[in-house]
Structure 1
Amino acid sequence: MRSTSRTEAFPAHTPAAAQIFTTVLSHGPLTRSEIAGRTRLSAAAVTKAVRPLIEAGYLVEDADDDARQPSLGRPANPVQVDGGRALFIGVKVTGDELIAVLTDLCCRIRVARHLPLTSRDPGAVLASITALVQELLTEADGFGVAVHGLGIAVSGDVDRAAGVVRYSPFLEWSDVPLAELASLATGLPVTVDNDVRALTVAEQWFGAGVGLSDFAVVTVGAGIGCGLVVHGHVVSGAHGVAGEIGHVAIDPAGPPCHCGNRGCVEAIAADSAIVGRIREVTGIEVADTAEAVDLAHAGNPGAREVYARAGDAIGRGIATVANLLGPERVIISGEGLAAYDLFAEQIREAFAAAAFGSAARCDLQTRPLPFEEWARGAAATAIQSFIRSDTY
């Protein structure tokens, strides 16, 4: 593979400068005084940080905006991120497919690609990721802009700081140093993170979490995941597993979970758990989630009861998050939303019953997002690493 390593560093050498750039990225265009207000930094600190970003071309100033008046002698023209200044690649890894996107610095998707996985062996998956990255690097040549980083989103226990997939049940991986391997294979700085946390970064910067200091993203589908934003920061915890509501046990006598416990939210409400339980209850050999949804929509009482139980489990899991952290909003997403009408009522009822006091005021918002958005989240983590200079 041709050399694609980043040839320049982001000209933000302090946490304040990175904070300012991220604020403009999410909320811009903004004047310097507006940036100061949002970041609670001094006007002098903002001016000092903005200048090199403009000089390097990462921020551009709109000198034609006459509607804004100068304040205290400082420039009042708004600044915004030049999305075309750099490109990034994001890859979402599922159990049977890779979804990859090429994005600009504003995380707008320019090109998207899908590639089926024929094997879950780490070496085979790495080879497929490398092939997809090479294809997107070729696409990037047409934009005439360098690719500055690669983000990879994987389900399970992922140690972002070390770049290691500690455990991914769907891929059956343990202790795979994916960031190091992918960087050697592609020549790019690589960030590896849990897929739900990556999606949460994208929602915080560009989606339903913009402007919120405390919110959560709960995903339903193959697994039950949760990303947390507390005081404006995506939280991974000391061991990288913060937000694992899929493994909150809500029924000690419930079905066994692959984590070794019983009655976890995921053991009741994940797609495979729902399909398996419907087979048991109805005696009908439904092949997959689509057939399970069709059976429930056709009015089969056993199938509908299984979905109702799943909704109750999800609602209780969300209530646990609300009780512990008190988020302003919980964004519900994931491929499992295809069946949302079958358990939406139970989710809200269980949440209302289990949420304590004012926690019940948390806004539950449904947001269907295709896997391209998860790959975009992976690209967002690469942008985040580039801004913070914390690549591996």
Structure 2
Amino acid sequence: MRSISRTETFPAHTPAASQVFTTLLSHGPLTRLEAARRAGLSPAAVTKAVRPLLQAGYLVEDADENARPTLGRPANLVRVDGERALFAGVKVTGDEAIGVLTDLCCRIRLARRVPLPDRTTGAVLASVADLTHALRVTAGDPNLPVLGAGIAVSGDVDRAEGVVRYSPFLEWRDVALAELAETVCGLPVTVDNDVRALTVAEQWFGAGVGLSDFAVVTVGAGIGCGLVVHGRVVAGAHGVAGEVGHVAVDPAGPLCHCGNRGCVEAIAGEAAIVARVREVTGRRVRDGAEAVALAHEDVAGVREVYAKAGEAVGRGIATVANLLGPQRVIISGEGLTAYDLFAGHIRDAFTAAAFGSAARCDVQIRPLPFEEWARGAAAAAIQSFIAPDPRPSR
């Protein structure tokens, strides 16, 4: 296995330790008894898992001032010490890199954006390295170690291998990004699909906290989907899962960059919408913002483009609901700037296509800036730190 050098390692690499730590991260501070209940573990297992984490300073114990007096040991509260370590997270788009520096509780301390000079691997790596270095220097506290970095990229990303198999917006194929980034950043690096990383953050800190089954669907340059099933983020056997953007909803529809026709992304992705608006208006529409403006001006045919996009997204979400029966679907992404144009169409198509009780799925809208996606990359790095991903042998 390829070894990853770390200045420090998590003191207890056991499933119980990871489970207790993430429970305290999302729900803490908690008593040991409450942590055991939420994690589905015995109190003895929690006590055993907590001990080395307390000794190493990753957890701290506080007296519960509201606790009723009881015989025996007081029911103190245990929480994650966010000041124990820092992690970097970078979200890479086709045009820029968005970076954040978070504490161990994944609270953003610093955030920066840098434009990408071009989309070549070397240029992106240089920008990510410069951004990560700038965040570390600006943090300015030598007593707080930066223990890892996460990089979130769109497309087919194999997190376990650390390889970007295919990223359509960066035009990358089979890039060993984790290994390359570790070399230039000087940190252990976790590479993940951007929507899947965002899903980790939503599971730990956002609209997915406390849910065992939910989905995150993102609308923008692409149509992405992250899945949580039985409390675990689904990665798929080969790093691909939840590709709702490539569910075919119209066999006679436009050609998708994946080679198929009528995919949700080929109808509702920003490039597809802009191209279709150009066709129906005969105008030189440069980007999604101009397309939205034309729709708001009621230019003939433009609202119908967004209506079809909304229908495609709604049918894609219904497919997720029919297959997995999630408690909630969270819709986010930069495409939500046009949400007023297709919100009703998404809901109508979802209701029409969802089968039976699947239609009861709670659909929530959460506009999130790219800094939150970068936070998701940092969350993926924290996740790898407390439960390392296996890496292939070299």
Q: Normalising TM by the smaller chain, what interval?
A: over 0.9
- Residues 138-159 of structure 1 show CA distances to partners (whole Å, capped at 9, x for unaligned) of 1233363000001000000000
Alignment of 1:98 with 2:84, yes or no, is no
Contact 1:10 1:389 in 2 (8 A): no
Distance 2:310 2:17 in 1: 43
Alignment of 1:146 with 2:145, yes or no, is yes
2:258 is aligned with what amino acid? C
Match in the other structure for 1:135: 134
1:35 is aligned with what amino acid? A
Match in the other structure for 1:192: 191
Match in the other structure for 1:15: 15
Contact 1:196 1:227 in 2 (8 A): yes
Match in the other structure for 1:158: 157
Contact 2:13 2:386 in 1 (8 A): no
Question: Pairwise mapping of residues 236-275 of structure 1 onto structure 2 (< 5 A)?
Answer: 236-275=235-274
Residue identity over aligned pairs, in percent, reads 77
Structure 1 residue 191: Cα displacement: 0.2
- Residues 134-184 of structure 1 show CA distances to partners (whole Å, capped at 9, x for unaligned) of 111212333630000010000000000000000000000000000000111
The alignment yields a C-alpha RMSD, in angstroms, of 1.4
Match in the other structure for 1:206: 205
Match in the other structure for 2:331: 332
State the SS of the aligned residue for 1:54: helix
Distance 1:57 1:5 in 2: 21
Structure 1 residue 11: Cα displacement: 1.2
Distance 2:44 2:10 in 1: 21
1:27 is aligned with what amino acid? H
Structure 1 residue 104: Cα displacement: 0.3
Structure 1 residue 368: Cα displacement: 0.3
Match in the other structure for 2:35: 35
Match in the other structure for 1:314: 313
Distance 2:142 2:305 in 1: 50
Distance 2:205 2:177 in 1: 27
Match in the other structure for 2:178: 179
Match in the other structure for 2:66: 67
Match in the other structure for 1:55: 55
Match in the other structure for 1:82: 81
Match in the other structure for 1:344: 343
Contact 1:32 1:75 in 2 (8 A): no
Question: Pairwise mapping of residues 282-293 of structure 1 onto structure 2 (< 5 A)?
Answer: 282-293=281-292
State the SS of the aligned residue for 2:45: helix
Contact 1:140 1:147 in 2 (8 A): no
Aligned length: 388
Contact 1:200 1:234 in 2 (8 A): yes
State the SS of the aligned residue for 2:30: coil
Structure 1 residue 71: Cα displacement: 6.8
Distance 2:13 2:228 in 1: 24
Contact 2:331 2:363 in 1 (8 A): yes
State the SS of the aligned residue for 1:103: strand
Distance 2:5 2:114 in 1: 24
1:39 is aligned with what amino acid? A
Structure 1 residue 75: Cα displacement: 4.3
Structure 1 residue 51: Cα displacement: 1.3
Distance 1:144 1:297 in 2: 52
2:76 is aligned with what amino acid? N
Distance 1:137 1:283 in 2: 49
Contact 1:189 1:391 in 2 (8 A): no
Structure 1 residue 40: Cα displacement: 1.4
Q: Which stretches of structure 1, 4 residues or longer, exceed 6 Å deviation after superposition?
A: none
Compare 296-305 and 223-232 and name the one that shifted more.
296-305
Compare 122-131 and 348-357 and name the one that shifted more.
122-131
Identify unmatched segments of 5+ residues in structure 1. none
Distance 1:115 1:55 in 2: 39
Distance 2:98 2:299 in 1: 34
Compare 135-144 and 214-223 and name the one that shifted more.
135-144
Instruction: Quickly say closer, same or farther: Cα 1:257–1:40, change in 2 above 3 A.
Output: same
Distance 1:245 1:129 in 2: 29
1:371 is aligned with what amino acid? F
